[in-house]
Amino acid sequence: MTSHEMRNPLSAILQSADGINTTLEEAHRLPNAGSGVVIDDAAYEAILDSAQTIALCAQHQKRIVDDILSLSKLDASLLVVTPGEVDPISTVKHALKLHHQELVVL
């Protein structure tokens, strides 16, 4: 996947979902003790990370939709804008997590 495709949060959602599927398929092919699929710690971490990325990207897309709706309200003078506090460290961590797959590819 190219970095251009990763700029779209939907692409990150799809890539993370694919990561979950691939990891689970590999775990399924491993020998098991008859009680189900065996997933080692590394696979578990990969699945967890992918699932968290999916949730983060979905939240990002929701935010985009919400922002578009807010802008249309603002344009119609139905919304008042006021300044608010922001945690820059949290914002940067959020952005890095959102684009983690793109950064790993580089």
Judged by DSSP in three states, 67 sits in: helix
- Per residue in 45-101, pLDDT tens? 888 888 888 888 888 888 888 888 888 888 888 878 789 999 999 989 988 887 877
Q: Whole-angstrom Cα distance, residue 40 to residue 94?
A: 27
Q: Whole-angstrom Cα distance, residue 97 to residue 92?
A: 9
Q: Whole-angstrom Cα distance, residue 100 to residue 96?
A: 6
Q: Is the pTM of this model over 0.75?
A: no
